[in-house]
Amino acid sequence: MGMGVEKYFSGLRILLVLCVFILAGCASRAVDSGRQVSGEEREQRWQRHQERLGLIQAWDMTGRLNMKVPGQSGTMSLDWQQQGDQYRLALEGPLGASIARISGGRQGVSVTASDETRYGPSPEMLLYSLTGWQFPVSNLKYWVRGLPVPGDDARVQLNNLGYPDKIEQQGWVVAYQQYGLSGSQRLPVRLVVSRGDVRLSLIVSSWQL
Angle among Cα 124, 67, 152 to the nearest 5 degrees reads 45
Q: What is the pLDDT of residue 205?
A: 97
Mean pLDDT per segment of 10 residues, for the chain of length 209 residues?
Answer: 44 39 33 67 94 94 96 94 96 92 95 96 96 94 96 94 96 97 93 97 97
Strands 172-182 and 116-120: unpaired
What is the strand order of the sheet 164-169 is part of? 116-120, 108-113, 98-105, 86-92, 72-83, 58-69, 198-208, 185-195, 172-182, 164-169, 155-158
Q: What is the pLDDT of residue 35?
A: 67
